[in-house]
Amino acid sequence: MNESQGLVVVANRLPVFRVRGDAGEEWQTSPGGLVSALRPILRGRPSRWVGWTGRADDKQEPFEHDGIDNCPVPLSHDELRTFYDGFCNRTLWPLYHAALRPPRFSRRWWRAYRAVNERFADAAAATAPPNSVVWIHDYHLQLVPDMVRRRRPDLRIGFFLHIPFPPQELFATIPWRKQLLQGLLGADVVGFQTPLGGYNFGQLSRRFTSARRKKGRLDYHNRSVIARAFPISIDVQLYTDLAKRDDVKRRAQEFRRRTGGRRIILGVDRLDYTKGIDSRLRAFALLLESKRISPADAVFVQVAVPSRERVAEYRDLKAGIERLVGEINGAYGEIGRPAVHYVRRSFPADELVALYIAADVLAITPLRDGMNLVAKEYVASRVDDTGVLVLSEFSGAARELSGALLVNPHDLEGVSSAIHSALEMSEQDQRMRMRKSRRALERNTVFDWADDFLAELTG
List of residues contacting ligand GDG (CB under 6 A): 31-32, 162-163, 232, 268, 270, 303, 305, 346-349, 352, 369-374, 377
Least distance in angstroms from the C-beta of 254 to ligand GDG:
17
The distance of closest approach from Cβ of residue 232 to ligand GDG in the complex, given in angstroms and rounded to an integer, is 4
The distance of closest approach from Cβ of residue 347 to ligand GDG in the complex, given in angstroms and rounded to an integer, is 4
- Quickly count: other Cβ atoms within 10 Å of residue 181's Cβ: 23
Distance set, CA 331 to CA 258, 297, 323, 363, 388 (Å): 21, 16, 12, 22, 27
Nearer to ligand GDG, 9 or 425 (CB): 9
Backbone angles phi, psi at 117, to 5 degrees: -60, -40
* Comparison of 346 and 421: residue with beta carbon closer to ligand GDG: 346
Q: What are phi and psi of 23, to 5 degrees?
A: -95, 40
Maximum pairwise Cα distance, the chain: 70
Q: Least CB distance from residue 429 to ligand GDG, whole Å?
A: 26
Give the nearer residue to ligand GDG in terms of CB position, either 153 or 348. Answer: 348
**Residue placing its CB nearer to ligand GDG in the complex, 78 or 393:** 393
* Residue (285 or 373) nearer to ligand GDG, CB: 373
Nearer to ligand GDG, 188 or 377 (CB): 377
Nearest to 190 by CA among 153, 142, 233, 232: 142
CA dist 459 and 454 (Å) reads 8
Rg over CA atoms, the chain: 23
Closest CB 33 distance from ligand GDG, rounded Å: 6
- Least distance to ligand GDG from the beta carbon of 348, Å? 6
Q: Tell me whether residue 89 or residue 209 sits nearer to ligand GDG (CB atom).
A: 89
Q: With respect to ligand GDG, which residue has the nearer C-beta, 374 or 405?
A: 374
225 and 211 Cβ atoms separated by less than 8 Å: yes
Distance CA 428, CA 442 (A): 21
The residue among 293 and 354 lying less far from ligand GDG, judged by its C-beta, is 354
Please, what is the minimum distance in Å from the beta carbon of residue 178 to ligand GDG? 25
Contact status, residue 46 vs residue 132, Cβ threshold 8 Å: yes
Shortest CB 1 distance to ligand GDG, Å: 21
Residue 49 CB, shortest distance to ligand GDG, in Å, is 17
Minimum distance from CB of 289 to ligand GDG (Å)?
29
If the CB atoms of residues 11 and 125 are measured against ligand GDG, the closer one turns out to be: 11
- Residue 164 or 403: the one with the smaller Cβ distance to ligand GDG is 164
Instruction: State in angstroms the smallest separation of the CB of 369 from ligand GDG.
Output: 4
